């Protein structure tokens, strides 16, 4: 299995809602990532988990809360988002400590109303 | 920190070789150079990675000069399905201190015409 899966594919939420994005990989990778991507822009790194521990937080607002329940799963909990948070949210995993060779999921298209 | 610069767009025709160059003048000693391909509404796909000289795999080649201040992704005999955005990425997350970064270029939109 060389796939990273993400659910849901699409999500519409209001600014007072709480929702979660899910990511799963069964490649045995011990590094997992969350990215945010706006249209016609490169992905922006948000969080890095290494061996289920948060190793990098790129100064992301607290309305985004990551969680890594085990080595295969990664969640992103969303609360009180703003319309400008609407974007494609990508999950990735990597077999290496460098993080340069990442396997990306298809993303969750998020719209905040 | 390394900053990456690549052309915004390129046009080509089926069967031609396409070379996309990325400039990264401030590359650090332990930084790697990686290229990704992205189709609309999909996640990026790893193409190739290198540190110096030349790397080749089944889909592309990566040329890196001795000073490592630039790199060139070479796609042989492109087809319509190679129409995508190509990103240059420089860095490594196991570097020390302020060099612990992955710097994405803004992407090159490649259009392959029949």
Which residue(s) pair with B70 in the sheet? B23
Mean pLDDT of B53-59: 94
Q: Pick from A99, A104, A106: which is nearest to B102 by CB?
A: A99
Per-residue pLDDT, A23: 98
Per-residue pLDDT, B2: 64
The B-side interface with A (CB below 8 A) comprises 32, 34, 41-46, 49, 87, 89, 91-94, 100, 102, 104-107
Distance, CA of A69 to CA of A72 (rounded, Å): 8
The residue assigned the tokens 């860095």 is: B91
Determine the distance in angstroms separating the CA of B108 from the nearest CA of chain A, rounded to an integer. 10
Distance, CA of B87 to CA of B109 (rounded, Å): 9
pLDDT band for position A2 (cuts 50, 70, 90): low
Helix (H, G, I), strand (E, B) or coil at B98: helix
Distance, CA of B114 to CA of B104 (rounded, Å): 30
pLDDT band for position B95 (cuts 50, 70, 90): confident
pLDDT in tens, A12-67: 999 989 999 999 999 999 999 999 999 999 999 999 999 999 999 999 999 999 99
Across the interface, do A42 and B87 touch by the CB < 8 Å criterion? yes
Size of interface A-B (CB pairs under 8 A): 55
Per-residue pLDDT, B93: 86
Helix (H, G, I), strand (E, B) or coil at A84: helix
Mean pLDDT of B19-42: 95
pLDDT in tens, A77-98: 999 999 999 999 999 999 998 8
Across the interface, do A42 and B41 touch by the CB < 8 Å criterion? no
Across the interface, do A107 and B42 touch by the CB < 8 Å criterion? yes
Mean pLDDT of chain B: 94
3-class SS letters over B36-60: EEECCCCCCEEEEEECCEEEECCCC
**Percent of chain B scored above 70 by pLDDT?**
98
The residue assigned the tokens 């939109």 is: B109
Length of chain B in residues, anyone? Answer: 114
Q: Does A70 touch chain B (CB under 8 A)?
A: no
Across the interface, do A88 and B41 touch by the CB < 8 Å criterion? yes
Mean pLDDT of B56-70: 96
| Backbone phi and psi for residue B82, each to the nearest 5 degrees, phi listed first | -85, 0
Give yes or no for residue B74 having a pLDDT over 80. Answer: yes
Per-residue pLDDT, B41: 87
Distance, CA of B21 to CA of B88 (rounded, Å): 9
- The larger pLDDT score, comparing residue B94 to residue B33, is at B33
Q: Does A41 touch chain B (CB under 8 A)?
A: yes
Cα dihedral B72, B73, B77, B82, rounded to 10, equals: -140
- The larger pLDDT score, comparing residue A8 to residue A2, is at A8
Give yes or no for residue B98 having a pLDDT over 80. Answer: no
Across the interface, do B106 and A45 touch by the CB < 8 Å criterion? no
Chain B residues within an 8 Å CB radius of A88? 41
Give yes or no for residue B38 having a pLDDT over 90. Answer: yes
Across the interface, do A100 and B104 touch by the CB < 8 Å criterion? no
Across the interface, do A100 and B44 touch by the CB < 8 Å criterion? no
Angle at A73 between CA B95 and CA A66, to 5 degrees: 65
């Amino acid at each position: 299995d060389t796939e990273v899966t993400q659910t849901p594919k699409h999500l519409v939420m209001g600014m007072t809602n709480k929702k979660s994005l899910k990511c799963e990989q069964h490649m045995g990778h011990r590094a997992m990532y969350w990215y945010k991507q706006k249209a016609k822009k490169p992905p922006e790194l948000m969080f890095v988990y290494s061996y289920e521990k948060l190793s990098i937080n790129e100064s992301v607002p607290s309305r985004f809360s990551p969680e890594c329940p085990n080595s295969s799963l990664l969640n992103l909990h969303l609360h009180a988002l703003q319309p400008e948070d609407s974007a494609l949210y990508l999950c990735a995993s990597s077999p290496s400590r460098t993080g340069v060779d990442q396997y990306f999921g298809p993303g969750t298209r998020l719209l905040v109303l | 920190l390394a900053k990456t610069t690549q052309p915004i767009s390129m046009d080509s025709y089926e069967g031609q070789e396409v070379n996309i160059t990325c400039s990264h003048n401030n590359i650090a000693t332990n930084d790697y150079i990686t290229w990704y391909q992205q189709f609309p509404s999909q996640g990026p796909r790893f193409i190739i990675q290198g540190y110096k000289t030349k790397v080749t795999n089944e889909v592309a080649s990566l040329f890196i000069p001795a000073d490592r201040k630039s790199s060139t992704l070479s796609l042989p005999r492109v087809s319509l399905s190679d129409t995508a955005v190509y990103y240059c990425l420089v860095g490594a997350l196991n570097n020390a201190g302020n060099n612990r970064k992955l710097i994405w270029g803004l992407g090159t939109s490649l259009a392959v015409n029949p």
